[in-house]
Structures are given as structure tokens and as C-alpha cells.
């Protein structure tokens, strides 16, 4: 007897995958618009490159085979990162005048960000093809590109290129004659066994780790590099030493030695490659071993927020022929251990026979070490975790123990932040702090109660006084992007009505570029900084965006988009960040696209969590609920929103916040949570800045986990997660389990997973579908 086909046809139709949805046409137009290219100035100060990056590869690109090994995501055939950066356009501009000259990019190769040679004669780029990572060289005089023949780079363990003192390159190459990659066994040889002999070894929730013996073999195969010296003028290649797992290679300032970081077995299934055993060796130009600077064991079981013992951050002093500098922990690498000093900085000159010289001891953990270009100055920064405090010291390397305190402030204090010391590339290829006589240069955001006003300062290390050279004016946003010889500098200038362009500041100020407005329709969007106060007195703010078609007096549905941050005091928690004077652009999966659907957007609504760093999360829920209510009340007071039609959203920790707001308040009609973590028992050794473990603060971990309150959600929630999320703590299972919990408790929830996407979503198809889901969700529940 023949059975009816209809039931089977229905099953077949139901099994069809859901196709990617297109975003509304207005959003597609915005996504298609060109962006402002990045400016990369030549060290010679005579030319700049203008590089525009492809923002959204296709899902086909993301779907290419990927090896996930030792915390890395790799393209097996090209021997590099799985999704490398790709240039969309490149141009060369002479600073003497004239328009930028477009550079023709080679077909079939995805070029990465260009890097100038120390003398500005060449610029180099990696080029990823279907089966190799190539080296491409550009000539500054003509802009002509050429490929170095016979060279396949190996970018598996990071940057494969660095400059030698004579202008040649040292490169990590795929060893010739290595043969095919090993194949996974069809049948496992046995079980995978891990064991601990009673030693505490807490670890963050790393992803993409080695899983078995085959993974170890494949990682070792893919990571093997042959060091090669490349003559850019002739294309000649000269191998150095034998192949190995070279994580980093640093040429000495005099070009006669190499500092080589070589990974060794045993590998780990618990930590990424950066914590594998590493041997730091000094070689001569022929590749022969001269000195072993460090031989560090596997770093499993580091204390939480701790560091390795032994030499770390090994580097050359850029102005000495061959002097190594490094840092060593004095507290066993454990921030919980009481110690008068936590770190010390040491140096040792070739031939490395004399005892190392101690330059300075630090009471807190070192977070930065930089050297002046004249050789008589070092800048050392330390971070005190107990207070979230940063101190910056200046010292003369020739006078150990001579450190003077330059800056001393909270890491959260944006208003007092002195800025960052500017660097330059020296003729020997080394990076050093830019100096003009005794003077250093500082660039900073220039945060003020009315918004950021970027600045450029001269800083005298003798008097510790800063002199302002430039500061962004009123009504615009202008920031320094490049410092040039002879006191010249380049800024990027924009305003709410003026597209970003680059400006050269010399004797006379001159605009270098003339980029127009690609999206005049977005100029109808209005925005303003809005400040208000939480009931406990903490100052808050958001940037209020009004949609292009908004009319005075209307009350529109609104979107609150936020990300909570921790602070030790209310004063810094209330400081304003960002600027309303920037040119409005929208890209990627931005929540600002809600403006094109008629919503008011309260962007960056501050959600400070203030308190003792040891216990601040005990009041996380109370503080974010109070902050959210204050934001809605303020927007309601302004008369622009309907307080009964407000949605909330966030990404990552903002998604965690969103789910908690829906579970612990009735402020919102719906929520959108992207790539979040919702069950803190799955991150038991801490999260964000939380220092306690699950076993030390079980009540808090359960209290702030939205998963534990799935029966109490007060509004529908849209969950979106990349299926390949590799961010610490935000395994895709976080969203999967929350969805199942919400569904099991009868809540209204929709759950979207995006194939091949990581923590952020980049494929054009994924971005459009995400925006389609977000707008559809709020249209359904807020309209």
C-alpha cells in the first residue's frame, strides 16, 4: 500500500536551513559606504600611506578550513591566522603636495596592513593566498608592488617579519621540503588522560586548546619556521639556524645578534601556546647560539592575575648595540602574596658575562617599559591591582635606582590622564620614545565633563612639566595620528557635519585629503550628551541619538545600549567619555542602526559598579538596575521616549547585564543579548574584574547568574551567539543553556547561532542577519 507523501514532504521542508536574511535597504546602503582609510606615516616624514580595510568578508571566507590549536585559529594551507586582515584599497601620498596615488593591489592575494622600512624607502605587507602567506614589497618612490619569490612566510606563531639594522628583513618562513601535514588517525590510540597531584592550578576558561596527541603533532608541524634574512633590493634569501617553533624574533640594534623565543615541549591541554615552555636564546648573524637568556617551564597553574617567575618581557634596549632588558617577579608571580616589591627591571650587555644590572624595583606589577631615543631615559609604568592605580616612573639607565615619579593616578581617572608617550622608528629599526632635545611628546584623549578634546603635549622630563602644543577646538573632534620630524604632525579632523579628513600641521596648516560625506542622510541624526545622577549620588551619562525623521514633541520607542564597568570610587565612575562632535558613522552590527527604523537610542548609558575591588560585585544587580532606571527616567523627563516602550541590549558583558536587567527589574519591554555569559559557575575562577572564585563567593556567583533566575524573566529576550566564539568565558554553551532554561520555564525567547562567527560577527551575511533579527525583535515587542 502506498503511503501519502505529504507528511514526509512537510518533514523535508522543515529540515531546510533558514537562509540568511537581508537587512533593510537603508542599512545595506550604509554598510556599502566606504570608510575613512587609516593613515600610516613614513618614518622619513615625507609620505603617507592611506589604507582602507575590508570590513566584511563573505561567509564563504569564514567557512574555509580552520585548525584550532593551542589557543590559535589557523589557516592550515596559508600558515597564518584563519581570518587575516585584508586591504580593500591602498594609496600613496607625498606630503609635499598633490593628490594621493592609488596603488593597484595584486589579484588573488589578501594584503595585510603595510609597514614602512626604517628609512622610508620601502613598505612591506603579507599577502594571503589560497595556499601560502607571501611577502609583498612596495617602493615608496613609485608605489609599485612586487612579490619576493621563493618565500612562503609562516605567521602561525605571530608576526613573521621584523627589520634588521641594515634595512633588510628577518622573516619566519615555512621550511623547504617539510612535506605534507600529518593526517589525523582514523581510530584513536586510546583515551585522553589528565591528572593533578594535589597542586592547585586554577585556570581561566581558555578555548581552542590542544585536545590530544595528534593536535600536538599538528601544532608542532604548522608552527615550524625557518628564519630567513631577506634583502629587499635583490630579493635574495639567506637561511639562519635550524627550523624551530619560533614565537618571536628580535634583531639587536646593531644588527649582529637575534633574540629568539623558541617554544618547547611539553605542550599543555590547559593553557594556550603563550604559556608553553619557552627558551629565549641570543644568536649571532650566522644563527649560532651565543647566550641563553631564559629557559622558562610550562606555565600551568599560574596564580589568578599572576605572572611567570623568571625573566619575562625580554627586549633589546633600542639605543645600545646589544643590551638585553627584562622584568622579574619578586613575589613569586602571585598578586595575593604580600611583598614589599613585586617586580624589578634588569639589563645585561653583550657578551652577557657580567652580572645583570638592576635598574629599578617596583611595589606594584610592571605594565609598561619604554626607552628614549637618546639612550638616557627609560619610562616604567606599574599597576597596583588593589586600588586600580597607575604610577609612571622616569629614570636614567646609567644611574640605577634614580627613578622619579612622573604620574600617579587611578587607572579610571580619564580627566587627569596625562596621555601616552609618542614613539618613532629609529634608523636601526627599533622603536623608541620620540625626543626633541630633552623633550618627550604626549598624546591623549583629553577627557572633560563635556566630552573628549584630544591633545598633543611637550613634556620636559627634568621639570616634569607639560606644555600644550595642540588641543581639539570646540565643536569638532580632532586627534593626532602621526608625529613627523621637525615638529610637524598630522591630525584627523571631523565634526557632526564634516567628514573625517587628515590635516598636516607645520608652518602653515594644510588639509591633506578631501573625503566627502558618503551618507548625507545620516546628517539628519541628532545627538547630545545627557548627564544625570543615580539616587546614590553617582553621576551618569548617555549620548542621546534622535532618528532622522524625529519631530519635536514625539515620544518614540527607545533602545538603551550599555556595558557595565567597575570603579573604586564614585568620582571617576561619573566621568564622561567620548564626544558628540564626531562625524556620525554606523557600521558592522551596531545598535545605532535602530535609528534608521525610527528608534531613539540611548548610547553608552553608563552602568558603573562602584566599590571595593574585592567585593564590588556583591552589589552588581542593585547598581545596574538603579543606573538603568535613572537613564529611562532622564530620557522620559526630556520628553523624547515612551518609558513603557524601552528595550535594552548589550554585547558580551553587556549581554550579561541585559539578561540580569530582564530578570531583576520590570523596566524593559524586551532585550537583546549578544555573545554573553549567563551562568557564572561555568567561569568559576573569576570573571571580568572579579577576583574571588566560585568557592570563595558562591552566593554572589549564583546571585548574578541570569541562568539561575530563568523563571523570573520579566520580558522577552533575543539571544545571539557566534558558533565559534573563542572569547574567555563566553562559550556558545552559555547562550544554549540559557535558552533551554528560559524555554523550560515558559519564557519568550529566540535563540540565533551564527556559523563560523567568533565573539564579534564580521561576515557580511552574518552582520545583515543579526541586524534583521535585532530590528525585527524590537519591532515586535516595542512597537
Phi, psi of 221 (to 5 degrees): -65, -50
Catalytic residues: 652, 725, 759
Average pLDDT over residues 463-482: 97
Q: Give the pLDDT confidence score for residue 14 in this predicted structure.
A: 46
Q: How far is CA 424 from CA 138, 159, 434, 441, 487, in A?
A: 21, 19, 5, 11, 13
Tally of CB atoms within 10 A around 102: 12
Q: Give the pLDDT confidence score for residue 192 in this predicted structure.
A: 85
Report which DSSP code applies to 57: -
Cell of 531: 548627564
**Using alpha carbons only, how large is the chain's radius of gyration in Å?**
28
Does residue 12 have a pLDDT over 70?
no
Give strand pairing partners of 280.
261, 294
Report whether the peptide linkage leading into residue 456 is cis, meaning its omega lies within 30 degrees of zero.
no
Does residue 11 have a pLDDT over 60?
no
Cell of 422: 609618542
pLDDT tens across 186-235, in order?
998 888 888 888 888 787 889 999 999 999 999 999 999 999 999 999 99
Does residue 7 have a pLDDT over 60?
no
The distance of Cα 143 from the centroid of its chain, to the nearest Å, equals: 30
Phi, psi of 635 (to 5 degrees): -65, -35
For residues 265 and 236, the answer to whether their CB atoms sit within 8 Å is no
Q: Give the pLDDT confidence score for residue 4 in this predicted structure.
A: 52
Q: Give the pLDDT confidence score for residue 474 in this predicted structure.
A: 95
pLDDT tens across 353-376, in order?
999 999 999 999 999 999 999 999
Phi, psi of 486 (to 5 degrees): 65, 25
pLDDT tens across 731-748, in order?
999 999 999 999 999 999
Report which DSSP code applies to 59: H
Q: What is the three-class DSSP state of 486?
A: helix
pLDDT tens across 252-273, in order?
999 999 999 999 999 999 999 9
Q: Give the pLDDT confidence score for residue 1 in this predicted structure.
A: 43
- Least confidently predicted of 423-432, 455-464, 669-678, 683-692: 683-692
Cell of 95: 606630503
Nearest residue to 111 via CA among 133, 91, 128: 128
- Least confidently predicted of 254-258, 362-366, 401-405, 608-612: 401-405
Element housing 214 (H / E): helix 213-223
Sequence-distant (6+) residues with CB within 8 A of 508 are: none
Provide long-range contacts, Cβ within 8 A and 24+ apart, for 384-387. 385/305, 385/335, 385/613, 386/613, 387/568, 387/613
Q: Give the pLDDT confidence score for residue 783 in this predicted structure.
A: 86
Cell of 210: 590542544
Element housing 11 (H / E): helix 6-14
Q: What is the pTM of this model?
A: 0.94
Give strand pairing partners of 361.
344
Q: Give the pLDDT confidence score for residue 200 in this predicted structure.
A: 82
86: confidence class by pLDDT, cuts 50, 70, 90:
very high
Q: What is the three-class DSSP state of 135?
A: strand
Q: Is the dihedral of CA 677, 681, 684, 689 positive or negative?
A: positive
Does residue 428 have a pLDDT over 70?
yes
Cell of 107: 589579484
Cell of 771: 541586524
The distance of Cα 672 from the centroid of its chain, to the nearest Å, equals: 23
Q: How far is CA 68 from CA 65, 237, 704, in A?
A: 10, 31, 31
What is the CB-side half-sphere exposure of residue 419 using CA atoms within 13 A? 24
Distance CA 309, CA 339 (A): 14
Does residue 9 have a pLDDT over 50?
no
Q: How many helices (H) does the chain have, and how many strands (E)? A: 10, 49
Percent over 90 (pLDDT), the chain: 93
Distance CA 236, CA 148 (A): 9
Q: Give the pLDDT confidence score for residue 251 in this predicted structure.
A: 98
Give strand pairing partners of 1.
none
For residues 171 and 228, the answer to whether their CB atoms sit within 8 Å is yes
For residues 555 and 641, the answer to whether their CB atoms sit within 8 Å is yes
Distance CA 181, CA 217 (A): 9
Distance CA 160, CA 135 (A): 10
pLDDT tens across 325-339, in order?
999 999 999 999 999
Distance CA 753, CA 603 (A): 25
Distance CA 84, CA 28 (A): 24
Element housing 744 (H / E): helix 733-744
Does residue 606 have a pLDDT over 90?
yes
Distance CA 146, CA 403 (A): 48
Phi, psi of 13 (to 5 degrees): -65, -40
Distance CA 737, CA 678 (A): 9
Report which DSSP code applies to 153: B
625-634 core/surface letters (b: 16 or more CB in 10 A; e: else): bbbbbbbbeb
The position carrying cell 575562577 is 685
Q: β-pairing, 565-567 with 608-610? A: parallel
Q: What is the three-class DSSP state of 438?
A: coil
Average pLDDT over residues 233-262: 97
Q: Is the dihedral of CA 624, 626, 627, 629 positive or negative?
A: positive
Does residue 20 have a pLDDT over 80?
yes
Q: Give the pLDDT confidence score for residue 440 in this predicted structure.
A: 98
Q: Is the dihedral of CA 727, 730, 731, 735 positive or negative?
A: negative
Distance CA 555, CA 552 (A): 9
Distance CA 751, CA 768 (A): 16
Q: Give the pLDDT confidence score for residue 17 in this predicted structure.
A: 73
Distance CA 140, CA 354 (A): 44
For residues 381 and 391, the answer to whether their CB atoms sit within 8 Å is yes
pLDDT tens across 514-570, in order?
999 999 999 999 999 999 999 999 999 999 999 999 999 999 999 999 999 999 999
State the alpha helices, DSSP H only, in 390-490.
Answer: none
Nearest residue to 403 via CA among 432, 366, 351, 373: 366
Q: β-pairing, 556-561 with 641-651? A: parallel
Average pLDDT over residues 63-88: 95
Mean of the per-residue pLDDT values of the chain: 95
Does residue 16 have a pLDDT over 70?
no
Amino acid at each position: 500500500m502506498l503511503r501519502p507523501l505529504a507528511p514526509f514532504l512537510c518533514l523535508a521542508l522543515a529540515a531546510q536551513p533558514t537562509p540568511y536574511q537581508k537587512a533593510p535597504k537603508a542599512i545595506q546602503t550604509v554598510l556599502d559606504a566606504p570608510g575613512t582609510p587609516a593613515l600610516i606615516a613614513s618614518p622619513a616624514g615625507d609620505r603617507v600611506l592611506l589604507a582602507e580595510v575590508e570590513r566584511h568578508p563573505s561567509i564563504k571566507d569564514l567557512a574555509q578550513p580552520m585548525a584550532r590549536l593551542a589557543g590559535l585559529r589557523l589557516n592550515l594551507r596559508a600558515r597564518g591566522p584563519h581570518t587575516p586582515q585584508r586591504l580593500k584599497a591602498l594609496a600613496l601620498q607625498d606630503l609635499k603636495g598633490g593628490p594621493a596615488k592609488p596603488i593597484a593591489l595584486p589579484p588573488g592575494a589578501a594584503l595585510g596592513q603595510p609597514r614602512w622600512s626604517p628609512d622610508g624607502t620601502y613598505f612591506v605587507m603579507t599577502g594571503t593566498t589560497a595556499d601560502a602567506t607571501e611577502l609583498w614589497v612596495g617602493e615608496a618612490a613609485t608605489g609599485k608592488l612586487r612579490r619576493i619569490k621563493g618565500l612562503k612566510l609562516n605567521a602561525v606563531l605571530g608576526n613573521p617579519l621584523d627589520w634588521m639594522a641594515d634595512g633588510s628583513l628577518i622573516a619566519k618562513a615555512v621550511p623547504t621540503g617539510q612535506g605534507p601535514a600529518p593526517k589525523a588517525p582514523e581510530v584513536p590510540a586510546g583515551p585522553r588522560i589528565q591528572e593533578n597531584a594535589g597542586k592547585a592550578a586554577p585556570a581561566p576558561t581558555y578555548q581552542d586548546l590542544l585536545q590530544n596527541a595528534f593536535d600536538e603533532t599538528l601544532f608542532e608541524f604548522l608552527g615550524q619556521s625557518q628564519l630567513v634574512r631577506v634583502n629587499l633590493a635583490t630579493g635574495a634569501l639567506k637561511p639562519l639556524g635550524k627550523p624551530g617553533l619560533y614565537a618571536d624574533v628580535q634583531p639587536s640594534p646593531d644588527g649582529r645578534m637575534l633574540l629568539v623565543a623558541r617554544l618547547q615541549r611539553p605542550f599543555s591541554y590547559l593553557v594556550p601556546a603563550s604559556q608553553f615552555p619557552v627558551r629565549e636564546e641570543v644568536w649571532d648573524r650566522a644563527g649560532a647560539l651565543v647566550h641563553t637568556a631564559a629557559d622558562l617551564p610550562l606555565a600551568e597553574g599560574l596564580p589568578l592575575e599572576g605572572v611567570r617567575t623568571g625573566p619575562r618581557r625580554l627586549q633589546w634596549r633600542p639605543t645600545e648595540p646589544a643590551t638585553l632588558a627584562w622584568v622579574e617577579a619578586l613575589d613569586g608571580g602571585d598578586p595575593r602574596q604580600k611583598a614589599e616589591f613585586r617586580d624589578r627591571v634588569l639589563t645585561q650587555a653583550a657578551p652577557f658575562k657580567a652580572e645583570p644590572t638592576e635598574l629599578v624595583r617596583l611595589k606594584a606589577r610592571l605594565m609598561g617599559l619604554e626607552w628614549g631615543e637618546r639612550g638616557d631615559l627609560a619610562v616604567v609604568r606599574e599597576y597596583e591591582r588593589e586600588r586600580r592605580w597607575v604610577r609612571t616612573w622616569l629614570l636614567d639607565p646609567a644611574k640605577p635606582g634614580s627613578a622619579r615619579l612622573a604620574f600617579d593616578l587611578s587607572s579610571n581617572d580619564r580627566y587627569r590622564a596625562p596621555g601616552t608617550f609618542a614613539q618613532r622608528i629609529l634608523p636601526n629599526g627599533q622603536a623608541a620614545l620620540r625626543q626633541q632635545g630633552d623633550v618627550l611628546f604626549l598624546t591623549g584623549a583629553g577627557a572633560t565633563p563635556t566630552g573628549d578634546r584630544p591633545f598633543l603635549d611637550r613634556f620636559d622630563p627634568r621639570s616634569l612639566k607639560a606644555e600644550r602644543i595642540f588641543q581639539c577646538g570646540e565643536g569638532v573632534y580632532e586627534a593626532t595620528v602621526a608625529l613627523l620630524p621637525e615638529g610637524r604632525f598630522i591630525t584627523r579632523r571631523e565634526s557632526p557635519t564634516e567628514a573625517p579628513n587628515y590635516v598636516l600641521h607645520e608652518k602653515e596648516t594644510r588639509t591633506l585629503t578631501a573625503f566627502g560625506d558618503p551618507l548625507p542622510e545620516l546628517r539628519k541624526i541628532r545627538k547630545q550628551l545627557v548627564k544625570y545622577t543615580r539616587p546614590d549620588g553617582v553621576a551618569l551619562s548617555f549620548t542621546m541619538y534622535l532618528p532622522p525623521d524625529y519631530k519635536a514633541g514625539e515620544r518614540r520607542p527607545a533602545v538603551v545600549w550599555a556595558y557595565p564597568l567597575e570603579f573604586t570610587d564614585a568620582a571617576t565612575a561619573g566621568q564622561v567619555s567620548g564626544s558628540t562632535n564626531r562625524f556620525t558613522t554606523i557600521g558592522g552590527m551596531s545598535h545605532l542602526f535602530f535609528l534608521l527604523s525610527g528608534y531613539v537610542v540611548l548610547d553608552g548609558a553608563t552602568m558603573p559598579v562602584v566599590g571595593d575591588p574585592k567585593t564590588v560585585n556583591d552589589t552588581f544587580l542593585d547598581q545596574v538596575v538603579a543606573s538603568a532606571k535613572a537613564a529611562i527616567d532622564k530620557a522620559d523627563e526630556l520628553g523624547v521616549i515612551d518609558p513603557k516602550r524601552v528595550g535594552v541590549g548589550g554585547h558580551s558583558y553587556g549581554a550579561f547585564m541585559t539578561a540580569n536587567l530582564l530578570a531583576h527589574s520590570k523596566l524593559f519591554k524586551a532585550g537583546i543579548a549578544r555573545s554573553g555569559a549567563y551562568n557564572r559557575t561555568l567561569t568559576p575562577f573569576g570573571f571580568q574584574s572579579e577576583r574571588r572564585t566560585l568557592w570563595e563567593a558562591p552566593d554572589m556567583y549564583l546571585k548574578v547568574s541570569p541562568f539561575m533566575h530563568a523563571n523570573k524573566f520579566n520580558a522577552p529576550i533575543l539571544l545571539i551567539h557566534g558558533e565559534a566564539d573563542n572569547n574567555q568565558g563566553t562559550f556558545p554553551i552559555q547562550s544554549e543553556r540559557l535558552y533551554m532554561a528560559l524555554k523550560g520555564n515558559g519564557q519568550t525567547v529566540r535563540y540565533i547561532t551564527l556559523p563560523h562567527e567568533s565573539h564579534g560577527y564580521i561576515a557580511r551575511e552574518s552582520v545583515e542577519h543579526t541586524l534583521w533579527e535585532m530590528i525585527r525583535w524590537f519591532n515586535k515587542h516595542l512597537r
